[in-house]
Amino acid sequence: MSIEITGLTKHYGETRAVDGISFAFPDEVQVLVLIGPSGGGKSTLLRLLGGLELPTAGGVAMNGTALPATEEGLREFRRRNGFLFQSFNLFPHLSALENIVLPLVTVHGWQRDEAVVRAREVVARFGMADHVTKRPAELSGGQQQRIALARAMAHGPDLLLLDEPTSALDPEMKAEVLDVVAELCEAGQRIILSTHEMGFARGCADEVVFLANGRLVESGKRDSLFESPQTEVVRSFLGRVMKW
């Protein structure tokens, strides 16, 4: 996909979560990774890109088409994509399988039996076939994230948006979720991901955007950004997070 962002701004009252960001990736980007310090605007930018929020000012265009400016239009846009948050994605009153089947049936208009077949297929792909009848409370954090990822993937989204999908997990569970995301990257899925996992970002990203204080600090191909950062902010951030 190509992405063009011009003067994108999102204010919550006095807080300038995203403050006039512009960048353009005119060529095909399969995996775009957002990095930077916490509170820097990664989540907000991801929500704007995913059509979960309307910007205060500025706009986003993907593949040459501007994102809709109405709630109805954005809902249609969101339906074509898949979203995964840090945690608490799943509906606790439904089984893992129902969590995946429900959107397929109610949002995407599938027949129930084909939705069940599809849900089982995706769950098996993510190594969760034995857990389909469990409620979220019976699953570990990593398993919950894999089911949530299966739900985000089940309808075959154009674009997958992942908002720090492993931040709430311990290292072992992080690995099990990142394995699945890495597999999706290799399979050619278009992904926009915000993360603190620099090793993972470096392995998967085509393009990287570094945000701090709601502003774009640096952006570019992963090799140039990770190996020869142009700004002191990025250099010292990478120095600190890569140290351990």
Of residues 45, 42, 38, 149, the one with CA closest to residue 90: 149
44 near another protein, judged by CB under 8 A: no
Q: Do the beta carbons of residue 86 and residue 142 sit within 8 Å? A: no
Q: What's the rounded Cα separation, in Å, for the pair 232 and 238?
A: 10
Cβ neighbours of 21 (radius 10 Å): 24
41 near another protein, judged by CB under 8 A: no
- Stretch of 18-26, 32-40, 103-111, 232-240 contacting another protein, by CB under 8 A: 103-111
112 near another protein, judged by CB under 8 A: no
- Stretch of 131-139, 164-172, 174-182, 209-217 contacting another protein, by CB under 8 A: 131-139
Least Å distance between CB 200 and another protein? 22
110 near another protein, judged by CB under 8 A: no
Q: Do the beta carbons of residue 56 and residue 10 sit within 8 Å? A: yes
Output Rg (C-alpha) for the chain, integer angstroms: 18
Binding mask 63-82 for another protein (x = CB under 8 A): ------------xx-xx---
Of residues 140, 26, 14, the one with CA closest to residue 87: 140
How far is CA 118 from its chain centroid? Answer: 22
Least Å distance between CB 243 and another protein? 32
Q: What's the rounded Cα separation, in Å, for the pair 152 and 89?
A: 10
- Stretch of 99-107, 116-124, 171-179, 215-223 contacting another protein, by CB under 8 A: 99-107
Nearer to another protein, 23 or 91 (CB): 91
223 near another protein, judged by CB under 8 A: no
Of positions 125, 135, 196, 221, contacts another protein by CB under 8 A: 135
Q: Do the beta carbons of residue 203 and residue 182 sit within 8 Å? A: yes
Nearer to another protein, 46 or 208 (CB): 46
Of residues 12, 40, 65, 5, the one with CA closest to residue 241: 40
* Residues engaged in binding another protein (CB under 8 A): 50, 52, 75-76, 78-79, 83, 85, 87-93, 102-103, 106-107, 135, 137-138, 151
